[in-house]
Amino acid sequence: QVQVVESGGDLVQAGGSLRLSCTVSGLSFDDYDLAWFRQAPGKEREGVSCISRSNSNTYYADSVKGRFAISRDNAKNTLSLQMNSLKPEDTAMYYCAAAPVCIGGVLYGNSDWGQGTQVTVSA
């Protein structure tokens, strides 16, 4: 059974930083692309960032380019998202996902998702 568990969400002031983590078990970790998505109340889910299985390719939504950095450790089955210079509009539930392919913030193939971790950025 695949388990995806996010952690690291918190309340932070604008301009601050957070690091989200995600652990994945029950699948062959390095056979999957990984991604972070977010969803704010009343808004559609947005693909924030992807990283390829080989660590060689990354994608960032325009709204987070230059502020967020995605990374993965295939030896530890973990995915991270370093978020700097946070803005109130970054407030959302952040989800980790694993899928065969992630291109441009879109997942292809069967995907597995976590329950999310809440990030709240105060002005």
Mean pLDDT in the chain? 96
- Alpha carbons 16 and 40: distance in angstroms, whole number: 19
Q: Which amino acid belongs to residue 57? A: N
Q: Which residue shows structure tokens 């030896």?
A: 75
Instruction: Report whether 33 contacts 101 (CB < 8 A).
Output: yes
DSSP 34-78: EEEEEE-TTS--EEEEEE-TTS--EEE-TTTTTTEEEEEETTTTE
Distance of CA 102 to the CA centre of its chain: 12
pLDDT of residue 66: 98
What's the mean pLDDT in 79-91? 98
Among residues 89, 75, 79, the alpha carbon closest in space to that of 123 is found at: 89
Number of residues assigned to the chain: 123
Q: Which residue shows structure tokens 């939504």?
A: 61
pLDDT tens digits along 52-65: 998 889 999 999 99
pLDDT of residue 56: 86
pLDDT tens digits along 10-52: 999 999 999 999 999 999 999 999 999 999 999 999 999 999 9
Q: How confident is the model at residue 93 (pLDDT cuts 50, 70, 90)?
A: very high
What's the mean pLDDT in 76-105? 97
